[in-house]
Amino acid sequence: MPLTLKLVTGRTIEQGRSMESGGKFSDIYRRAVAVAEMNPKDIEIIGIKDNVKITSVYGSIVVNVKPNNDIPPGTVFIPMGPWANLLTLPITEGTGMPTLKNIDVYVEATSEDATPLDAILRFFGVNKIHYKPAERPLSVGIKRVVYDVPCPFCGEVCDFLTIELDGEKTSRVLNACPIGHAKFMNYYRHRVLTPMIRQESNGDFMEVDLEYALDKAAEILANAKYPLIYGLSSTCVEVTELAVELAEITRGVVDNTTTLCHGPTVLAVQEVGSVRITLGMAMNLADTIVFWGCNPMNAHINHIRRIILPEGRFVKGRKERKIIVIDIRRTDTAKLADIFIQIEPGKDYELFTVLRMALRDYDIEVPSVAGVPREKIYELIEIMRTAKFGVIFFGMGLTQGGAKYKNLEEVIKLVQELNEWSKWALLPMRGHYNVTGSNHAMLWLTGYPYGVDFSRGFPKMIPGVTTTIDLLVNGDVDAALIIASDPVAHFPQKAVENLMRIPKIVVDPFWSLSASVADVLIPSAVTGVECEGTVYRLDDVPLRLKKFVEPPKGVLCDIDILSKLIDRVKKLKGLA
Amino acid sequence: MTDIIIKNGFVIDPFNNIKGELMDIGISNGRIVDPSKVRESEAIVIDAGERLVVAGGIDIHSHIAGPKVNIGRLMRPEDHYLTNVPSKLPFRRAMTGRTVPNVFAIGYKYAMMGYTLVAEPACAPLKMRHAHDELNAIPIIDKMVFVLVDSNWLALDLMAENRKDLLKIYLAWLLYATKGYALKLVDPGSDVAWMMGRPSLDLDDQVPEYNLTPKDIIRLVGEANESLNLPHTIHVHCNRLGFPGNYITTLNTMKLGKDFALRDRNSIHITHVQFTGYGGESWATLESGGEVIASELNANPYVTLDLGQVTFGEATTMTADAPFEFILYHLTRWKWANADIENETASGIVPYRYRKKSYVNTIQWAIGLEVLLLSRDPWRTLITTDHPNAGVFTDYPKIFAWIMSKSYREKTLKEVNQRALRKCILPSINREITLYELIIITRAAPAKLLGLEDTKGHLGVGADADIAIYDINPRAIDPSSEYEKILKAFQRAWCVIKEGKIVVKEREIVQTIYGKTYSVNPYTAISDDIRKEFEAYLKDRFKRYYTVSLENFVIRDYEIRKLTEVRIKPRL
């Protein structure tokens, strides 16, 4: 019997690791993300034997099923990736954030094979896929050890890694999480090493020299009326600064991946402010820690080891800390919690509101809110009120679904009010290693954190209008420059469809899905391995990424590529 | 670089005792030279046309960069909506924002007002890299940043253990590692309490977890500052800031300067004194403490101060005094941002509007002006608005007009809260500051206080060629009655030269260049043995307290666009 369920998408450890080790065209990546996790009860009711067909308003896919007791009945979980994106809703409701969680989907059993990647790309409007990964040549020779290496993967930017090198080959990575380990061990694989442009005659890639590719890219940008510059979160802040300059010259839009992750958090800060800390505050002082709608055990793996377990100055390790996890499913983080509260998908706003009521001693008249019984709510607020120092870490669970930025406004107000009683703070668990930095750089250059438009010569940001998803869905932009990001793998299908219709310049060290469909593809060196640069940790602490290997011959760092591009565009526009 | 010669201008240069003489200024290679050495046929000749020629202005305390400012920008999108100036490429980038402007608006607007050096007065050590990233992006002006030390656990540990020598070395290292310029104390010790959820402290309260008082902290850091021979004094934001009756704490803090003065100069700088000059017992009975503070200043040669003058209108308060911002949030009930930085400090941000009709705001406005007008020494009383706390820096011309013109003051006095005026002596003050004194206050005095009098704040041979030409004739103008001219002239300089390059011409920005960042380095001159011993100690503590590694904490020279390191030899 087919059922209507709620689709939730998110990050998993396997998704991250397979992406860094095998690349997005690999079998392990497909196995990691083309899978639907469901409660065994639902599987039984629907009568699924092998595969499942999932249909939303926007599309339909067939994927494998993985039974998982931790997923509550009525919910289906698919890791973020092209498969999930065929189903997600591109509607941003004026927030710039598409709906990526709590989507109504129709689920039925099927004997069809799982949808292959090229079928999905065809659906997006891609006719030819080009994938010519190369391994960068590695010289071996002098053995050396680099200490205190900051890791360019997630917002945590662990800066205590030790890397042992044999010439340019990484032989050992110490202190990293599995994803960080995969990142450093495989940095030489799946690389783009030569610039390419797509031939108009047959749509094939042609290898060209860098100067030619840059000229071509500059031409596209200079001729565009309203180009989009997107990405920037997986490279250093210096690149964001250049991207803003480029947008100002071309009178286009510059946006970073915040638009798709913590955009709503940022909008909420614009409304009510924030109460933030750096990670060391939590380590040294926090005796109560709440993880709300985030799963650091899978997405920020070292977080627990850095913040929860160690002995801080005033808190003696895990035994003196109370861990509370609030989520819609029993995540790996929930398994190590002292208290786990399972809430109904998309009902976070209600729970925050009722917690604020309980804090003010108002009566809660209904027996349960968001699936949480009244007594539990009173108990939770009592724990919060009496904590010595509490921190709420929150994630995509709050931003990508439900009330979006209103959720965040409410949690910030809750924390502000808790400060009347005790000491509380909150921190978003940012995904990309420098998404925070990209926000900061845009702020100091333009006054706005993301989605900045220069069409009238001055910066302006209108969520739901100048944000990437809306610009693409509405077909507003007429060219795109994508830097160190993979929108084809992570945007909802309507946005990708429109992206396919405009000329695209992709600057990336690796073969991503976006790289494979680019019109001009410019290889770059890996920031944090082959290039230096400043990045900002999720708690705004700036760190300097290290360069310990020379970039491959003829491949430049993002900074140099953008500088050259700016020079050329300036010339074409007569501004040099 | 083409040489420049400025002809036919009335020069005021207090350092060189020039009081409005018609003379030529020669510029070569970014420095001021004897005009006879510039060959006129090959140089750009600027005919100043009897306008006022002075050195570039120096702002000693203005929040222009760093995490606080950026969170302020984030929190206040409404500040940017109606303040946009489109770019004029390739000469000028787009400007936006008023209380929390973008980097371009900061650099260009300061330059257009004739200011060429601005100090960002507070940043947590851990986030200094952020401050430098922003300073790197600010065009035209020279800049520097002060580092917060008052609630730093590593420093407090050393103080509590009474290891004074190691404390000095730690502070020297901190300045070197973060590329800071001076030591800043904000509500000393209070952020330690705030981080633990406790109320802020007065001068003699005990700092939680430490057997210390804020008074000890000021004395010990002051002593370290003097024996490290730093170019600036300690820069102190007093305890109890923002509380009625706090002028007593301020007086007691000012008196501390004598205890640790080692050099033949002042030893403590009290910043934005308006916020700590309140008499009375509650907001309802608030009074001005301006007169008392001015008389202490006149009697106590160890002190310098700046005003933090309220200019009325929109402001965004931002300070490392996190407990005070929490209290202010209760008054405004709108937006509040707070950020606690591990082991170091905390900060808060609250938007605020100063209204002329408000009793409290009127008293605040009067305090600043009273202090300045009653101070007998323009070399020790500087003008700031603590931008953007008490007002925006673009309001400086208003302050100039208030202090130079009794009639402009009287015009404003009619518009403000009349009940408040009864608690102030401002209406009875007749003094009017002269143009010469104003140039001391805005140029010479801050240069001297920052220890940069060799190259900044004057127009003598060898100084940096940072020059502002204002559209007033000092011999013809009567500032007292022609205050409109003062307002207009100082808002937009007629011509500004930065390091020998013309950046403002006929009141418009004509090119975008980037200035220097000053830092001090007292650490390298310390002997290797002492440094080695200290680094062993530091390594251990650092690892225990921080979530970053020591190596990644240190900011390298090449991370700063144009670093000018002032190397000094400490007197340990």
Q: Which of B324, B547, B554 to mutate to test the interface with A (most CBs of A within 10 A)?
A: B547
Contacts of B90 in chain A (CB under 8 A): 570, 575-576
A30 and A94 in a single domain? The answer is: yes
**pLDDT, position A262:** 94
Does a structural domain hold residue A120? yes
Q: Is the peptide bond before A428 cis (omega within 30 degrees of 0)?
A: no
Q: How far is A143 from chain B (nearest CA, A)?
A: 21
Contact assessment for residue B271 and residue B308, using Cβ atoms and an 8 Å cutoff: yes
Contact assessment for residue A419 and residue B326, using Cβ atoms and an 8 Å cutoff: yes
How far apart (Å, rounded) are the C-alpha atoms in residues B551 and A544?
10
Residue A347: count of CB within 10 angstroms of its CB: 18
pLDDT band at A129 (very low <50, low <70, confident <90, very high): confident
Pairing of strands A101-110, A60-67: unpaired
pLDDT band at A128 (very low <50, low <70, confident <90, very high): confident
| Of the candidates A61, A31, A67, the residue with the CA atom closest to the CA atom of residue A49 | A67
Mean pLDDT of A522-532: 97
pLDDT band at A16 (very low <50, low <70, confident <90, very high): confident
Strand arrangement, sheet containing A339-342: A339-342, A322-327, A288-292, A389-394, A423-428
A274 and A419 in a single domain? The answer is: yes
Contacts of A277 in chain B (CB under 8 A): 339-342
Q: Which of A278, A440, A537 to mutate to test the interface with B (most CBs of B within 10 A)?
A: A278
A374 and A248 in a single domain? The answer is: no
Subunit contact B89:A444, Cβ cutoff 8 A = no
**pLDDT, position A10:** 87
Mean pLDDT of B446-454: 96
pLDDT band at A254 (very low <50, low <70, confident <90, very high): very high
How far apart (Å, rounded) are the C-alpha atoms in residues B13 and B21?
9
| Percent of chain B's residues with pLDDT above 90 | 98
Mean pLDDT of A3-7: 92
Nearest CB to A540 within list B67, B80, B102: B67
How far apart (Å, rounded) are the C-alpha atoms in residues A12 and B261?
61
Does a structural domain hold residue A281? yes
How far apart (Å, rounded) are the C-alpha atoms in residues B177 and B172?
9
- Identify the burial level of A209 via C-beta atoms within 10 angstroms of its C-beta, where 0-12 means exposed, 13-18 middle and 19 or more buried: exposed
Does a structural domain hold residue A159? no
A424 and A439 in a single domain? The answer is: no
pLDDT surpassing 80 at residue B403: yes
**pLDDT, position B38:** 93
The count of structural domains within chain B is: 1
A411 and A327 in a single domain? The answer is: yes
Q: What DSSP assignment string belongs to B80-147? A: TTT--B--BTTTB--B--SSS--HHHHHHHHHHTTEEEEEEEEE-GGGHHHHHHHHHHS-SSEEEEEE
**pLDDT, position A130:** 81
pLDDT surpassing 80 at residue B221: yes
How far apart (Å, rounded) are the C-alpha atoms in residues B529 and B536?
11
Which CA distances in Å does B441 have to A336, A349, B111, B400?
Answer: 62, 54, 18, 10
Subunit contact A150:B552, Cβ cutoff 8 A = yes
Contacts of B197 in chain A (CB under 8 A): 388-389, 422-423
How far apart (Å, rounded) are the C-alpha atoms in residues A119 and A81?
14
Residue B433: count of CB within 10 angstroms of its CB: 20
Nearest CB to B342 within list A274, A281, A449: A281
3-state secondary structure of B262: coil
Contacts of A147 in chain B (CB under 8 A): 551
| pLDDT, tens digit (0-9, with 9 covering 90-100), for A264-279 | 999 999 999 999 999 9
Does a structural domain hold residue A143? no
Q: Angle at CA A62, nearest 5°, toward A60 and A67?
A: 120
How many residue contacts between A and B have a Cβ separation below 8 Å?
Answer: 183
pLDDT surpassing 90 at residue A203: no
Q: What residues contact B308, with CB distance under 8 A and at least 6 apart?
A: B61, B271, B272, B273, B274, B275, B368, B384, B385, B386, B389, B390
Subunit contact A540:B336, Cβ cutoff 8 A = no
| pLDDT, tens digit (0-9, with 9 covering 90-100), for A390-435 | 999 999 989 987 888 999 999 999 999 999 999 999 999 999 999 9
- Which tokens in the block code for residue B477? 């103008």
Residue B256: count of CB within 10 angstroms of its CB: 20
Mean pLDDT of A122-148: 89
φ, ψ (nearest 5 deg) of residue A59: 180, -175
Looking up tokens 């656990």, which residue turns up? B153
Q: Give the least confident one: A70-74, B292-296, B497-501.
A: A70-74
**pLDDT, position A337:** 96
Q: What residues contact B110, with CB distance under 8 A and at least 6 apart?
A: B57, B59, B116, B118, B140, B141, B393
A489 and A415 in a single domain? The answer is: no
Contacts of A389 in chain B (CB under 8 A): 196-197
**pLDDT, position B300:** 96
Q: Which of B342, B543, B553 to mutate to test the interface with A (most CBs of A within 10 A)?
A: B342
Does a structural domain hold residue B27? no
pLDDT, chain A, mean: 94
Mean pLDDT of B524-543: 95
How far apart (Å, rounded) are the C-alpha atoms in residues B315 and B196?
29
Subunit contact B130:A540, Cβ cutoff 8 A = yes
| pLDDT, tens digit (0-9, with 9 covering 90-100), for A205-221 | 999 999 999 999 999 99
Does a structural domain hold residue B513? no
A94 and A104 in a single domain? The answer is: yes
**pLDDT, position A403:** 87
pLDDT band at B365 (very low <50, low <70, confident <90, very high): very high
Q: How far is A364 from chain B (nearest CA, A)?
A: 25
User: What residues make up the domain containing A496?
Assistant: 196-261+433-573
- Which tokens in the block code for residue A303? 């977080």
| pLDDT, tens digit (0-9, with 9 covering 90-100), for A25-72 | 888 999 999 999 999 999 999 999 889 999 999 999 999 999 999 999
How far apart (Å, rounded) are the C-alpha atoms in residues A418 and B341?
19
User: What residues make up the domain containing B149?
Assistant: 57-449
pLDDT band at B521 (very low <50, low <70, confident <90, very high): very high
Looking up tokens 């001090």, which residue turns up? B520
Those of residues 442-471 in A touching chain B at CB distance below 8 A are 443-449, 454, 456-461
Nearest CB to A278 within list B73, B338, B342: B342
Contact assessment for residue B375 and residue B254, using Cβ atoms and an 8 Å cutoff: no
Q: How many helices (H) and strands (E) does chain B have?
A: 19, 24
**pLDDT, position B432:** 97
| DSSP H or E run through A527 | none
**CATH number of the CATH domain containing B386:** 3.20.20.140
Contact assessment for residue B307 and residue B382, using Cβ atoms and an 8 Å cutoff: yes
Instruction: Confirm or reject contact between A424 and chain B (CB < 8 A).
Output: no
Pairing of strands A3-10, A101-110: antiparallel
How far apart (Å, rounded) are the C-alpha atoms in residues B2 and B45?
10
Closest residue, chain B, to A421 (C-alpha): B197
| Of the candidates A244, A260, A156, the residue with the CA atom closest to the CA atom of residue A441 | A244
A245 and A327 in a single domain? The answer is: no
- What is chain A's alpha carbon radius of gyration, rounded to the nearest angstrom? 23
**CATH number of the CATH domain containing A467:** 3.40.50.740
- Which tokens in the block code for residue B155? 């420093």
Q: How far is B71 from chain A (nearest CA, A)?
A: 8
The count of structural domains within chain A is: 3
- Which tokens in the block code for residue B220? 């010990």
| DSSP H or E run through A67 | strand A60-67
Give the number of residues written for chain A. Answer: 576
Instruction: Confirm or reject contact between A266 and chain B (CB < 8 A).
Output: yes
Q: How far is A126 from chain B (nearest CA, A)?
A: 38
How far apart (Å, rounded) are the C-alpha atoms in residues B517 and A453?
31
**CATH number of the CATH domain containing A49:** 2.40.40.20
CA dihedral B133, A237, B338, B555 (to 10 degrees): -40
Q: What DSSP assignment string belongs to A191-221? A: B--S-EEE-TTT--EEE--HHHHHHHHHHHH
The type of residue at A356 is R
Last residue of a domain, one of A409, A428, A447: A428
pLDDT band at B428 (very low <50, low <70, confident <90, very high): very high
Nearest CB to A443 within list B70, B342, B545: B70
The type of residue at A296 is P
Does a structural domain hold residue A287? yes
| Of the candidates A344, A255, A297, A322, the residue with the CA atom closest to the CA atom of residue A156 | A297
- What is chain B's alpha carbon radius of gyration, rounded to the nearest angstrom? 23
The type of residue at A321 is R
Subunit contact A278:B547, Cβ cutoff 8 A = yes
Q: How far is B413 from chain A (nearest CA, A)?
A: 35
| pLDDT, tens digit (0-9, with 9 covering 90-100), for B300-345 | 999 999 999 999 999 999 999 999 999 999 999 899 999 999 999 9
The separation between the first and the last C-alpha atoms of chain A, rounded to the nearest angstrom, is: 67
Does a structural domain hold residue A131? no
- Identify the burial level of B191 via C-beta atoms within 10 angstroms of its C-beta, where 0-12 means exposed, 13-18 middle and 19 or more buried: buried
A118 and A31 in a single domain? The answer is: yes
How far apart (Å, rounded) are the C-alpha atoms in residues A228 and B494?
39
Those of residues 205-264 in A touching chain B at CB distance below 8 A are 237, 241, 245, 248-249
pLDDT surpassing 90 at residue B236: yes
| pLDDT, tens digit (0-9, with 9 covering 90-100), for A354-395 | 999 999 999 999 999 999 999 999 999 999 999 999 999 999
Q: What residues contact A171, with CB distance under 8 A and at least 6 apart?
A: A143, A164, A165
Q: Angle at CA B257, nearest 5°, toward B254 and B262?
A: 165
Contacts of B547 in chain A (CB under 8 A): 278-280, 283, 306-307, 541
Q: What DSSP assignment string belongs to A366-381? A: SSEETTEEHHHHHHHH
Instruction: Confirm or reject contact between A480 and chain B (CB < 8 A).
Output: no
Whether ipTM exceeds 0.95: yes
Does a structural domain hold residue A161? no
| Percent of chain A's residues with pLDDT above 90 | 86
Does a structural domain hold residue B33? no
A111 and A242 in a single domain? The answer is: no
Pairing of strands B501-505, B508-509: antiparallel
3-state secondary structure of B468: strand
pLDDT surpassing 80 at residue A501: yes
Those of residues 331-370 in A touching chain B at CB distance below 8 A are none
A238 and A280 in a single domain? The answer is: no
- Which tokens in the block code for residue B86? 């489109």
3-state helix, strand, coil in chain A (%, to 5): 35, 25, 40
Does a structural domain hold residue B473? no
How far apart (Å, rounded) are the C-alpha atoms in residues B54 and B460?
11
Nearest CB to B134 within list A313, A444, A460: A444
Q: How far is B70 from chain A (nearest CA, A)?
A: 6
3-state helix, strand, coil in chain B (%, to 5): 40, 20, 40
Pairing of strands B313-319, B268-270: unpaired
Contact assessment for residue B28 and residue B37, using Cβ atoms and an 8 Å cutoff: yes
Does a structural domain hold residue A157? no
Subunit contact B129:A456, Cβ cutoff 8 A = no
3-state secondary structure of A473: helix
Looking up tokens 């981080």, which residue turns up? B195
A468 and A519 in a single domain? The answer is: yes
- The number of CA neighbours under 13 Å toward the Cβ of A199 is 9
